[in-house]
Amino acid sequence: MTDTKVLTAQSHAPRPPDPAPPSGSAGRAFRALVARDIKLAAAQGAGGLQVVVFFAVVVTLIPFGLGPDLPLLEAIAPGVLWIALILASLLTFDRLFQADFEDGSLDGMVCGPLSLEGIVFAKACAHWLTNALPLIVATPVLALLLNMKAGVLGLLLLTLLVGTPGLTLIGALGAGLSVGVRRAGILIALLVMPLYVPVLIFAVGALEQAQRSLAAGDGVNFLEPNALFLAAASLLAGLIGVWAGAAGLRLHVGG
Amino acid sequence: MFAFANPHRFMAYSGPLVPWTGFLAALLFGVGLVWGLVFAPPDYQMGDTVRIMYIHVPAAWMAMAAYTFMASASLASFVWRHPLADIAARAAAPLGLGFNFLALVTGALWGQPMWGTFWVWDARLTSFLVLFFFYIGYIALWEAIEDPHKAGRAAAILAMVGFINVPIVKFSVDWWNTLHQPASLIKMGAPSIYWTILTPLLIMVAAYTMIFTFLLLLRMRTEVFTRRIHRLQSSLAAGTEEPALA
């Protein structure tokens, strides 16, 4: 009982101000964290490649499931590629914070100059570079399999580049809320799926608009409304992912 | 709100309230269903199939209201650390899920004779289905994390993030060109439903609200009792006899 008395006395006394971290060290910590995560992912070797293989497997299964009719495949190709990429990347989010949480590195990072939001953003950047970027690089080859035309392919790559950062941060949100849960893969997919819907709707909307305008003989407009909404949705998703992902992580790391 | 922060006081007030809300719910359902399904006039366009509206519309409203309740309780729990708020949010979630499911099913049954299809991917139905998955994700997160306090805070974050979907569902019929009919009650200007159909509809809304309150109080009381039992069991196992703090 004396412990509680001591604690209340301490909590009433004025705290000395926290020493400010040396200027610029947050930026240095950010770059160091991104570099560390990339090196770790590269050391694991097969990780990024597995994701690409899964992506290729899903896309290859589509003609087996829906028939090899080329016009049909061309019509559904943008949506199929987006969905396959989402499915492939959903598998990877449970590993985002798990290893660092389990061996205590996350607690160490929290003591450093980088805020938890910065840590989430840094790890998501590294995740995007090692998972989403290989998938985007693999997309043109798989788009060929689905008979996609070059103009639409360009817009597809642009929508992927704009949309996947937001999706990665929403995945970080799911991973942050469920860190410490065993076999959290499906749980993260369930939490994250409703938040993915707006980005997917706008991306595929922009691509279908491009397909229609190409068929009508006009060029592809890269700045039409769906594409702009995609950028806005991705940005908003990113902000929510950083804030809520850090809030979720704070529950598990601080306690 | 903080008047009921004390679990003992909440239990004392909610105890006698439970049978009353249950009785009121039964009464309102009886009156509303009989009036709506038997005595209310048929619609001039839809005929007698309009009667499914008395089940579908209040269910859809309650699904949204339950999520709003969940999000507000989550805010109270997360920001002000109100002791009973996370229990309230957790209790409301399966009820909202049930209302959501009921609205989806009754809507599909109504859509087949009216629109010729059980389902269409327009903005209202799609966003309402997404709300269904938000509910499932919320409940799954509660079940996945073992420590109930951590689970409550994680779920609170999820509920607050997901609240963005509720205004999207509400305004989807205004923002997009949808097959689902636009708002006829909660909109600018007076409601555009005649009183002979509006009155049984409002009675059904009251009935659904009463049954939500009844089930919510029941579930919250059960959760408080369960936590007391767990605390007693763990203090028994530890060999100490501490007074239960609810």
Task: Assess contact for B138 and B93: CB atoms under 8 A.
Answer: yes
Q: Is residue A122 part of a domain?
A: yes
* Rounded Cα gap, residues A159 and A231, in angstroms: 8
CB atoms within 10 A of CB A149: 15
Query: Which residue in the set B134, B136, B158 is minimally distant from A177, CB to CB?
Result: B158
What is the average per-residue pLDDT within B20-40?
Answer: 92
> What pLDDT, on a 0 to 100 scale, did the predictor assign at position B244?
56
What's the structural domain count of chain A?
1
Secondary structure (3-state) at B97: helix
Tell me phi and psi for residue B43, to 5 degrees: -75, 150
Tokens of A165: 């950062």
What is the average per-residue pLDDT within A163-180?
Answer: 94
Which has more confidence, B49 or A235? A235
CB contact under 8 A, A251 and B165: no
Residue whose tokens read 């499914």:
B52
Residue whose tokens read 């598998």:
A91
Is the ipTM of this structure higher than 0.90? no
CB atoms within 10 A of CB B222: 12
Residue whose tokens read 């049909």:
A72
Contact residues for A91 (Cβ-Cβ < 8 A; gap 6+): A51, A54, A185
> What pLDDT, on a 0 to 100 scale, did the predictor assign at position B241?
59
Q: Determine contact: B162 vs chain A, CB below 8 A.
A: yes
What is the average per-residue pLDDT within A62-66?
Answer: 91
* Rounded Cα gap, residues B143 and B228, in angstroms: 19
Tokens of A35: 């570099």
Positive or negative: CA dihedral B21, B27, B31, B37: positive
Encode pLDDT of B143-196 as tens digits.
999 888 899 999 999 999 999 999 999 888 888 877 787 777 777 667 777 788
* Rounded Cα gap, residues B38 and B51, in angstroms: 9
* Rounded Cα gap, residues A222 and A207, in angstroms: 10
Amino acid in the structure at residue A106: L
Query: Which residue in the set B136, B141, B161 is minimally distant from A178, CB to CB?
Result: B141
Tokens of A13: 């006394």
Long-range contacts of B9-14 (CB under 8 A, 24+ apart): B10/B84, B10/B220, B10/B224, B11/B221, B11/B224, B11/B246, B14/B217, B14/B220, B14/B221
CB contact under 8 A, A178 and B153: no
Measure the CA angle with vertex A171, ends A66 and A152; round to 5°.
Answer: 45
pLDDT grade, residue A3 (50/70/90)? very low
Q: What is the mean pLDDT of chain A?
A: 87
Secondary structure (3-state) at B47: strand
> What pLDDT, on a 0 to 100 scale, did the predictor assign at position A255?
45
Task: Assess contact for A185 and A94: CB atoms under 8 A.
Answer: yes
Encode pLDDT of B119-141 as tens digits.
988 889 999 999 999 999 999 99
- CA-only gyration radius of chain B, Å: 20
Task: Give Cα A96 distance to the centre of its chain.
Answer: 10
> What pLDDT, on a 0 to 100 scale, did the predictor assign at position B172?
84
Contact residues for B194 (Cβ-Cβ < 8 A; gap 6+): none
Tell me phi and psi for residue A171, to 5 degrees: -60, -40
Task: Give Cα A137 distance to the centre of its chain.
Answer: 16
Q: Return the closest-CA partner of residue A51 out of A99, A96, A85.
A: A85
Chain B hits for A240, Cβ within 8 Å: 161
* Rounded Cα gap, residues B185 and B204, in angstroms: 14
Q: Any idea how long chain B is?
A: 246
Which of A144-153, A184-193, A217-226 has the least mean pLDDT?
A: A217-226
> Which B residues, 128 through 147, put their C-beta within 8 Å of a C-beta on chain A?
130-131, 133-134, 136-137, 140-141, 144-145
- Indicate if the pLDDT at residue A232 is higher than 70: yes
User: Which residue range(s) make up the domain with A189?
Assistant: 26-254
* Rounded Cα gap, residues B129 and A204, in angstroms: 19
CB contact under 8 A, A187 and B140: yes
Q: Which residue of B has its CA nearest to A198?
A: B127
* Rounded Cα gap, residues B121 and B123, in angstroms: 7
Query: Which residue in the set A187, A194, A252 is minimally distant from B130, CB to CB?
Result: A194
CB contact under 8 A, A191 and B140: yes
Task: Assess contact for B201 and B57: CB atoms under 8 A.
Answer: yes
The domain segmentation of chain B, as residue ranges, is 51-177
CB contact under 8 A, B137 and A194: yes
CB atoms within 10 A of CB A186: 13
Encode pLDDT of A10-48 as tens digits.
455 666 666 655 556 888 899 999 999 999 988 887 667
Residue whose tokens read 């039992």:
B229
Encode pLDDT of A100-131 as tens digits.
998 888 988 888 888 999 999 999 999 999 99
Q: Is residue A6 part of a domain?
A: no
Task: Assess contact for B166 and B71: CB atoms under 8 A.
Answer: yes
pTM for the model:
0.87
Task: Give Cα B29 distance to the centre of its chain.
Answer: 16
* Rounded Cα gap, residues A24 and A30, in angstroms: 10
Tokens of B129: 């289905």
**Distance of residue A177 Cα from the nearest chain B Cα, in angstroms:** 6
Q: Which residue of A has its CA nearest to B150?
A: A251
Residue whose tokens read 């009973």:
B84
Amino acid in the structure at residue B47: G
Q: Is residue A19 part of a domain?
A: no
Q: Is residue A72 part of a domain?
A: yes
Which segments of chain A does DSSP mark as H helices, in order? 2-12, 25-43, 46-66, 70-90, 95-103, 105-110, 116-127, 133-145, 150-177, 185-215, 225-254
